[in-house]
């Protein structure tokens, strides 16, 4: 069941959004503290997959990780900021795009890197580094990019990101370290991808429920307008990330990995921040975050498929 959920993650998330749009009361309870706990559960699943070896990767490949982290936190916020100007976005929509841009890499990027024959160790190292930096870097970047238009509670964001990322990831890593040799723990780990998908679907459902009236009022054009901006943001992240890998003469697997790591953001975290800090004053800020939750998973799978198809056409084979 977990394999089915993780294999069709995007479809389940889309289904949750559609069902909630027509029956908004289903996930009405997923807001505030409940949403924070659910996002924490997603990050816990990430922590359960990390071992001390993964942190050794970060220490053993500092230059790669440094380049990756800089690309992550420079490219996506910059592209988001430029898009808000090019599309002349209203403040609350712009805020949502900037939130996505300022967040760390997405949890599922490691899976996409594996599927496209990227450098998985590099992917895990980048995800670890950007997640650990997020409590400080994300609020700081948001203040720089949106602080002139919106009042940003940087200290509150620091605490929130610490609670929903660092603590559950650390707990998951400790559990993996002390319990990894127990047979039951292996079973638990196999269930975690499915749990992560269910939690993400619940978060998106909760967001749709909260902003249901605004979506109905805005109509299809509002959704399409925001989707085009999300699409541009995500695609430019992939392209510029790949170019950075080329610039630093990375191998093809590393270029693929940095492309995916830069383009795929932790939109679940962005959704949580938008819900907790801006729902009262800028309710539509959460819409780009929710759309990104769904689209980044879909586009990541598409890009991994393109890379794999390229390998097949070139006759490239990889060891199992």
Overall pTM surpassing 0.85 (yes/no): no
Asked, for residue 27, whether it belongs to a domain, the answer is yes
51-63 residue pLDDT tens = 777 777 767 888 9
* Cβ contact 303:260 at 8 Å: yes
In 3D space, the residue among 50, 83, 32, 55 whose CA is nearest the CA of residue 227 turns out to be 83
What pLDDT shows up at residue 45?
A: 80
- Is 198 part of a structural domain of the chain? yes
Cβ(208)–Cβ(215) below 8 Å = yes
Burial of residue 272 (CB within 10 Å: 0-12, 13-18, 19+) is buried
For 102-111, the pLDDT digits (tens) are 999 877 787 7
* CATH number for the domain that contains residue 136: 1.20.1530.20
Domain that holds residue 304: 2-312
Whether residue 126 contacts residue 257, with contact meaning beta carbons closer than 8 Å, is answered with yes
319 in any annotated domain: no
Token readout for 167 is 């603590």
Does the residue 318 lie in any domain? no
Helix, strand, or coil here: 61?
coil
Residue 317 resides in a domain: no
Please indicate, yes or no, if residue 176 is contained in any of the structural domains: yes
The reported pLDDT for the residue numbered 209 is: 84
pLDDT of residue 7: 62
**What are the residues whose beta carbons fall under 8 Å from the beta carbon of 149, sequence distance 6 or more?**
91, 94, 95
Residue listed under structure tokens 């040799």: 181
- Give the separation between CA 127 and CA 130, rounded to whole angstroms: 5
If we measure between CA atoms, which residue out of 56, 141, 105 comes closest to residue 261?
Answer: 105
pLDDT score of 320: 43
**Which helix or strand (DSSP H or E) is residue 143 part of?**
helix 120-146
In a domain, 168, yes or no: yes
Domains: count for the chain: 1
Question: What are the residue ranges in the chain where pLDDT is below 50?
Answer: 319-320
């Amino acid at each position: 069941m977990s394999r089915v959920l993780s294999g069709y993650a995007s479809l389940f998330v889309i289904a949750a959004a559609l069902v909630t749009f027509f029956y908004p009361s289903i996930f009405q309870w997923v807001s505030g503290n409940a949403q924070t706990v659910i996002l924490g559960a997603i990050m816990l699943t990430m922590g359960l997959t990390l071992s001390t070896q993964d942190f050794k990767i970060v220490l053993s490949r500092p230059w790669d990780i440094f380049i990756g982290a800089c690309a992550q936190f420079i490219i996506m916020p910059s592209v988001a900021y430029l898009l808000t100007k090019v599309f002349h976005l209203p403040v609350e929509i712009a805020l949502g795009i900037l939130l996505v841009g300022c967040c760390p890499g997405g949890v599922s990027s490691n899976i996409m890197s594996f599927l496209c024959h990227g450098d998985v160790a590099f992917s895990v190292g980048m995800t670890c580094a950007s997640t650990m930096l997020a409590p400080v870097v994300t609020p700081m970047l948001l203040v720089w990019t949106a602080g002139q238009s919106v009042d940003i509670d940087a200290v509150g964001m620091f605490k929130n990101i610490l609670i929903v990322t660092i603590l559950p990831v650390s707990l998951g890593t400790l559990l993996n370290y002390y319990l990894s040799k127990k047979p039951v723990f292996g079973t638990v780990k196999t269930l975690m991808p499915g749990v992560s998908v269910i939690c993400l679907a619940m978060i998106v459902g909760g967001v749709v429920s909260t902003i249901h009236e605004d979506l109905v009022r805005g109509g299809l054009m509002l959704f399409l307008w925001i989707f085009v901006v999300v699409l541009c943001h995500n695609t430019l992240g992939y392209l510029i990330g790949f170019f950075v890998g080329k610039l630093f003469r990375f191998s093809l697997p590393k270029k693929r990995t940095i492309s995916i790591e830069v383009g795929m953001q932790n939109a679940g975290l962005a959704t949580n921040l938008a819900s907790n800090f801006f729902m009262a004053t800028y309710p539509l800020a959460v819409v780009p975050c929710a759309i990104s939750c769904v689209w980044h998973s879909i586009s990541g799978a598409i890009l991994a498929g393109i890379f794999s198809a390229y390998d097949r056409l070139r006759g490239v084979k990889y060891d199992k």
